[in-house]
Each structure stands twice: as C-alpha cells, then as structure tokens.
Amino acid sequence: MRLISMFIGVFALLVSTQLIASDAGHTSEAMEHAGESKAHGEMGHAKEALQHAKDSLAHAKDASKEHAEAQKHMDEAVKHLDEAIKHAEMGHGEESAKHTSEAIKHIRESGH
C-alpha cells in the first residue's frame, strides 16, 4: 500500500511539473523576446528591436489566451462544486455526484 501511495505521489509530481513547464512556455518566450528587443533598441538596432517586440507580443497574447481559457474552466468547476455541496447538504447524493463529475471535467480542461 505504501508503495502505491509513493508511486501516485511521484506520478502527480511528474504530471504537475509538465503542466507548469508547458504553461510557462509562452510567458518565458515573451520575456526572452522582450529582453532581446530592449537590448537591440538600446544599441540602436530598430529593425531587430521591432522583430523581437512583435515576437514578444505574439507570445504574450498566446499566454494570455491560455490563462483566460484555464480561468473560464476553473470558474465553471467552482460553480459545479458549489452546487455539489448544496445538493450533498440536502441529502441528494446522486445530484451532488453529477455536479462533482462536471467539476472534474472542467478542472481537467483547465490544464492546471
């Protein structure tokens, strides 16, 4: 039993590490290109500064979209969990389970 618990813990860590790494992709790219743009701008290289600024903007927009989508799913998960709690408090186990199931779907879809 202890071995199974340890395996589950390691698996969860690996999965969460991958999610964090993929989530940070556009954010880190946006930062990298912004830094390059700043450096080229300070050296008077307008053409290179422009390209890096455009690349940074594209990654920043993508990161923003990813986070907005995740937020939307988590908001839905919270609504379903609230409903699950209400129904469980009223003794409606099956209805509570339905809402919990929907919450799980949204949590998974959030990517976090």
Tell me: the pLDDT tens digits for 62-110?
Answer: 888 888 888 899 999 999 999 999 999 999 999 999 999 899 998 888 8
CA distance 6 to 38: 46
Question: 45 near 12, Cβ under 8 Å?
Answer: no
Q: Is residue 15 part of a domain?
A: no
Instruction: Supply the CATH number for residue 61's domain.
Output: 1.20.120
Residue 5 located in a structural domain: no
Number of domains into which the chain is organized: 1
Cβ atoms 73, 37 nearer than 8 A? no
Residue 70 domain boundaries? 25-110
CA dihedral 77, 79, 85, 88 (to 10 degrees): -90
Residue 102: closest CA among 73, 80, 87, 83: 80
Query: Does residue 72 fall inside a structural domain?
Result: yes
Phi then psi dihedrals of residue 103, to 5 deg: -60, -40
Residue 70 placed within a domain:
yes
Which tens digit of pLDDT belongs to each residue from 32-66?
A: 989 989 988 989 989 889 988 999 899 888 888 88
Residue 60 counted as domain residue: yes
